[in-house]
Amino acid sequence: MISHSEALNIVLNTDFCTGVEFISIYDSFSRILSKDVYSDINMPPFDKSMVDGYACRKDDLTKELIIDRIVAAGENDKLAIQPGHCVKIMTGAPVPTGAEVVVMVEDTEMAGDKLIINNQNTSVNISPKGEDINIGDKVLSKGTLIKPLHCRILATLGYKEVEVFKKAKVGIIVTGDEIGAW
């Protein structure tokens, strides 16, 4: 018979693999990833507005601007900003081509049908395409114990299923009275 410490050492230093299976990300909580997960998309997938405001060119911050239209989150139009123009834009919406800054609504006022920007030292307020995750980035590593945060990451990247290790099947076999006979 071997000692407890020898038995524990054997168990802890032995690789054990149960095989793998694909499961829904909704059922993956508390499971262990069986391979690295890489992104096949950029996050955000486009330059997006970080605030509600007006998208315009930096050169136009001191001018009265014509508001061309409103761009809501979820829109996918190929819009371009012309000199002297801007678009009203919502948080999360794609920033039109040519826009270099999104001025917060609080830093603007209307003069008739024209927009006046009161704070020319505004932040850019644009989250660039791929700022968080780029195509090919490793987002989760093999061996990760999946928690709610990981499920959200997988869902954001469009995963419906994930490859995990199968659950181990464990049994206890009592071979004598050494466990309970004290």
Task: Count CB neighbours of 60 within 10 A.
Answer: 23
Q: Which residues pair with 139 in a beta bridge?
A: none
Residues 6+ apart with CB under 8 A from 130: 42, 43, 44
At 86-140, the pLDDT tens digits run: 999 999 999 999 999 999 999 999 999 999 999 888 899 999 999 999 999 999 9
With a CB cutoff of 8 Å and minimum separation 6, the contacts of 60 are 83, 84, 85, 86
Pinpoint the residues of the chain covered by CATH 2.170.190.11: 48-127
CATH match for 48-127 among 1.20.1050.140, 3.30.2270.10, 1.10.3720.10, 2.170.190.11: 2.170.190.11
Which tokens hold the place of 71?
């761009």
Work out the mean pLDDT of the chain and round it to a whole number. 91
CA dist., res. 39 & res. 66, Å (int): 39
Given a cut of 80, whether residue 142 has pLDDT beyond it is: yes
Domain 18-41+132-165 in CATH 2.60.120.1440? The answer is no
pTM: 0.71
Please indicate whether residue 98 or residue 74 has the higher confidence score (pLDDT): 98
